[in-house]
Amino acid sequence: MFSPFTYLIRRKELASHLGKGLALLLGNELSSMNYAANYYPQFRQDSTFLYYFGLDVPGLAAIVDLESGESILFGQEPTLDSMVWTGPEAGLDELASKCGVEKTLPIETLGEFLSLTGDRTVHYLPSYRPEHTIKYSTWLKKNSKEVKEGVSEALIHTIIRQRSTKVHAEIEQLDNAANVTHALHMTAMKYAKAGMKESDVVAELYAIAMRETGYPSFPIICTVHGEILHNHHYHNNLKEGDLLLVDCGGESAMHYAGDMTRTFPVSASFTQKQKEVYQAVLDASDQVVINLRPGVSYKEMHLLAARVLTENLKAIGLMKGDVEEAVAHGAHALFFPHGLGHMLGLDVHDMENLGEDFVGYDSTTRRNPQFGLSALRLGKELQAGYAITVEPGCYFIPGLIDNWKASNKLEAFINYEALESYRDFGGIRIEDDYIITENGSRLLGTPVPRTIAEVEEVRGAAL
């Protein structure tokens, strides 16, 4: 945790921006698997709650008085029974003192407390777990439709403003998270061998994450079917000639996230075909990275990556026609159907629960509904202190190819015939984390091998 003062200041700033009413901020609960007491091993606290209170234990909620700036922490005191089953725990006052809160109350009284505040506005955030809806519903005496409609955009915007710009101590956490992520990728790159299952590699990654700080920041993607963007199955065998795509991240001790992707050959080296596509993706990433700086629109960066990729795919013979025009029509999205990247912070897609468009777009940059661009989570201008991912990719998705080909979609730009021999290619993504600085950007954490030569060196030594 940071010092109590840090959290106090953050809440004062929240209050001074909003100025009126109360903010109700929910901590998370443990999540049950197959019966109430059998929880998912990992407790994940709500990130906004972590940002303003830093308390990483389940069962809490807080109210910030936006006029006085004072907060009340709601929770339960430990019991003799809880001491026997889960060990000695901090009392509410001790928790409150860690984050500069002076008043605590039993959580059973939260509903009554709110009902006694009369007509003061209660600002609250969107639900992303069913438990949130039930709590809001109970405490605010609203049905679930009213809960959804009553969310406070003012609170959302204020929190996004505060959390978007990472201060020094947060950047340190992001570097730590990136370094855990570095350890994960070095392990994967050294460990994976033909004959293993994907799950063997994932098992090693889990072990590294648990030794370092705890759990991965999101479900690990580790697949020879990199063309399935969020593949969470690990049952395939690794074979010579395959590409293994590993997209994973660690967390820092304070739950800041890392998120990086590497794609490497299961054999000691890439094939010529793999090299060409890999270099296309790498070029796209490199071009973006040298252009990162405050004031640059991330949508423009996405389109830059798309153009570089398209140029390369033209050279390979998979695309054709005018590059600008191809990108304007979204032809590249057959190969690159996702966004270039997203904000990074206490969440791997930072603040996604507050609304992707509120986080990644603004009044000057709106989300484009074109296939591909529509999946871009971050489109607006970058600012110093933003932490972001840069993650171009190139995929050969048989189902999507068939779907487009059936209507000869954008055939002026796509060489469907040449594409046939790439149907079982899989997919390549390269992803790194950057912090936007006053004049440009800086890579977060220790660099993970990235060029063809660097990757082949590690693989060669490992095999």
Task: Report the interface residues with a copy of itself, using CB under 8 A.
Answer: 28, 31-42, 44-47, 80, 83-88, 128-131, 133-134, 137, 144, 197, 199-200, 202-204, 206-211, 216, 218-220, 225, 228-234, 337, 346-349, 351-353, 397, 399-400, 403
The answer to whether the beta carbons of residues 339 and 302 sit under 8 Å apart is yes
Q: Which is nearer to a copy of itself, 163 or 314 (CB)?
A: 163
Q: Is the dihedral of CA 254, 67, 91, 109 positive or negative?
A: negative
CA 391 – CA 288 distance, rounded (Å) = 10
Q: Minimum Å distance from CB 457 to a copy of itself?
A: 26
Dihedral sign for Cα 105, 107, 109, 115, please.
positive
Q: 255, 293, 258, 253: which is closest to 175 by C-alpha?
A: 258
Q: Which helix (H) or strand (E) holds 395?
A: strand 393-395
203 or 268: CB nearest a copy of itself: 203
Q: Alpha carbon 421 to chain centroid distance?
A: 33
Spatial distance between the Cα atoms of 233 and 95, rounded to a whole number of angstroms: 39
Q: How far is the CB of 56 from a copy of itself (least distance, A)?
A: 11
- As a whole number of angstroms, the distance between CA 192 and CA 116 comes to 60
Q: Write down the least CB distance from residue 38 to a copy of itself, Å.
A: 5
Closest distance to a copy of itself from the beta carbon of 156 (Å): 13
Q: Between 66 and 397, name the residue whose CB sits nearer to a copy of itself.
A: 397
The residue (of 65 and 131) whose beta carbon lies closer to a copy of itself is 131
Mention every residue, 6+ apart, whose C-beta is less than 8 A from residue 251: 177, 180, 213, 214, 215, 216, 217, 257, 258
First to last CA, the chain: 42
Q: How far is the CB of 133 from a copy of itself (least distance, A)?
A: 6
- CB-wise, 133 or 365, nearer to a copy of itself? 133
Query: What are the φ and ψ backbone dihedral angles of 366, each rounded to 5 degrees?
Result: -105, 155
Q: Closest approach of Cβ 40 to a copy of itself, in Å?
A: 5
Least distance between a copy of itself and beta carbon 399 (Å): 5
* H-assigned helices in 213-271: none
Write down the least CB distance from residue 126 to a copy of itself, Å: 9
User: Would you tell me the crossing angle of helices 452-462 and 272-291 to the nearest 10 degrees?
Assistant: 130
Any alpha helices (H) in 196-262, and if so which ranges? Answer: 198-212
Measured from the CB atom, is 234 or 416 closer to a copy of itself? 234
For a copy of itself, the closer of residues 152 and 231 by Cβ is 231
Our CB check for a copy of itself shows the closer of 61 and 296 to be 61
The single-letter DSSP state of residue 109 is G
Task: Select 355 or 440, whichever has its Cβ closest to a copy of itself.
Answer: 355
CB of 187 to a copy of itself, least distance (A): 11
Q: At closest approach, how far in Å is the CB of 19 from a copy of itself?
A: 27
Of residues 23 and 209, the one with the C-beta less far from a copy of itself:
209
* CB 84 to a copy of itself: min, Å: 6
Q: Which two three-digit tokens encode residue 424?
A: 């079982």
Per 3-state DSSP, what percentage of the chain is helix, strand, and coil (rounded to 5)?
45, 15, 45
Return all residues near 145 (Cβ < 8 A) that are at least 6 apart: none
**Residue 324 in tokens:** 């600008």
If the CB atoms of residues 8 and 25 are measured against a copy of itself, the closer one turns out to be 25
Q: What's the sign of the alpha-carbon dihedral 78, 79, 83, 86?
A: negative
Determine the Cα–Cα distance for residues 448 and 431; give it in Å rounded to an integer: 10
Q: Rounded to 5 degrees, what angle do the CA atoms 278, 248, 331 make?
A: 40
Contact of 208 with 187, CB cutoff 8 Å: yes
